[in-house]
């Protein structure tokens, strides 16, 4: 466990790269027919994505782990996330924005 947390990344591009890395990692465990799109505008959960609820949890854990490896301890799937009117997990940009907001609060 870390003694202190680093400040949140100040670049949307850095957060987007971490989200895309999480999608690539998730694809390692998926068969070729159910690969996730790895692109800046890709859907993650919902219409246009082969990801189910269990897969979503796995992707979020991969992203949380990638963030932790960089010194950011956060939980993305919590009450705050599920209580939002629009899912923060629907697309790469939405998840990037949500991750940035969580990092700012952490």
Q: Give domain limits for the chain.
A: 12-105
Q: Report residue 1's pLDDT band, with 50, 70 and 90 as the boundaries.
A: very low
pLDDT (tens digit, 9 = 90+) per residue, 29-49?
999 999 999 999 999 998 888
Share of the chain above pLDDT 70, in %: 90
22-57 burial, b if ≥16 CB within 10 A, otherwise e?
bbebbbeeeeeeeebeeeeebbbbeeebebeeebbe
83-92 burial, b if ≥16 CB within 10 A, otherwise e?
eeeebbbbbb
pLDDT of 106 over the 70 cut:
no
- Domain 12-105 architecture: Orthogonal Bundle (1.10)
User: Using an 8 Å Cβ cutoff, are 60 and 26 in contact?
Assistant: no
């Amino acid at each position: 466990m870390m003694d202190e947390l680093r400040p949140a990344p100040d670049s949307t591009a850095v957060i987007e790269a971490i989200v895309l890395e999480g999608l690539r990692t998730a694809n390692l465990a998926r068969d070729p027919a159910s690969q996730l799109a790895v692109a800046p505008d890709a859907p993650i959960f919902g219409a246009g994505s082969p990801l189910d609820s269990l897969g979503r949890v796995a992707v979020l854990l991969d992203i949380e782990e990638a963030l932790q490896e960089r010194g950011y301890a956060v939980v993305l799937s919590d009450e705050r996330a599920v209580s939002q009117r629009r899912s923060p997990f629907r697309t790469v940009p939405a998840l990037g924005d949500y991750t940035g907001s969580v990092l700012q609060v952490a």
